[in-house]
Amino acid sequence: MIVLALATAILLLLSFFADRGKTLAGLKKGAKMFLNILPAMLGVLILVSVFLYIVPASALTRWLGQGSGWTGIASAALLGSISLIPGFIAFPLGAILVRSGVSYQVIAVFITTLMMVGILTLPLEAKYFGWRVSLLRNALSFAGALLVGLLMGIFL
């Protein structure tokens, strides 16, 4: 985060000294793109906030903790696909699950689907890629994430 801020500041300064007009035009373009997508992004954040209230991290832990075998994997895949949890919540959650004895396979499937599949962000994704492609990308990612999670379970 700090690295990103520093890099942006340095590039911005370099760009500004190299060509003021070009830099301002770029900033204007960036700001316009940001403002255009802002309402849709706020919408996604609202969905996520409500979702995390209905399904808090403690409930996720409980559900994933109970499951074993194929039911555990299926519920992990489902929860991972729907949830939109940032890494700073998901990884500590995974660590708790490991300690409470949940199989690595279940955790791996949850983490991989969480990363690669985004059902709550679909409306936003569709704005960029269209519904057909977005659904296809998420379906392929779901299959891929499941495969990765299951393979990891063999080695962990």
Partner 1 sequence: MNSRAIVMAKKYGFVLLFAAFIALSYIGNFAAGKEIGKNFRVFFMEMILILPLMFILIGLFEVWVPRERIIRHLGAEAGHWGILWVILLAMLQVGPLYAAFPVAALLWRKGCSVRNIFIYLGAFTTLKIPMLTFEVGFLGWKFSLLRALFSFPVFIAIGFLLAADLKGRPFAVKEPE
Binding site for partner 1 (CB under 8 A): 1, 4-5, 8, 11-12, 15, 22-23, 25-31, 33-34, 36-37, 39-46, 48-50, 52-53, 84, 86-88, 91-92, 94-95, 98, 104, 107-108, 111-112, 115-116, 118, 121, 124-125, 127-130, 133, 136-137, 140-141, 144-145, 147-148, 151-152, 155-156
CB closer to partner 1 out of 75 and 84: 84
Using an 8 Å Cβ cutoff, are 81 and 141 in contact?
no
Nearest distance from residue 125's CB to partner 1, in Å?
6
CA pair distance 38, 132, nearest whole angstrom: 23
From the CB of 64, what's the least distance to partner 1, in Å?
A: 14
How near is the Cβ of 36 to partner 1 at its closest, in Å?
6
- The nearer residue to partner 1, 82 or 115, going by C-beta atoms, is 115
Q: What is the C-alpha to C-alpha distance for residues 61 and 9, in angstroms, rounded to an integer?
A: 40
In angstroms, the CA 118 to CA 82 distance is 6
- Cβ proximity to partner 1, 18 vs 70, nearer residue: 18
Task: Quote the CA–CA distance of 105 and 115 in Å, as a whole number.
Answer: 15
Residue 45 CA to residue 141 CA, distance in Å, equals 22
Rounded to the nearest angstrom, the gap between the alpha carbon of residue 50 and the centroid of all alpha carbons in its chain is: 16
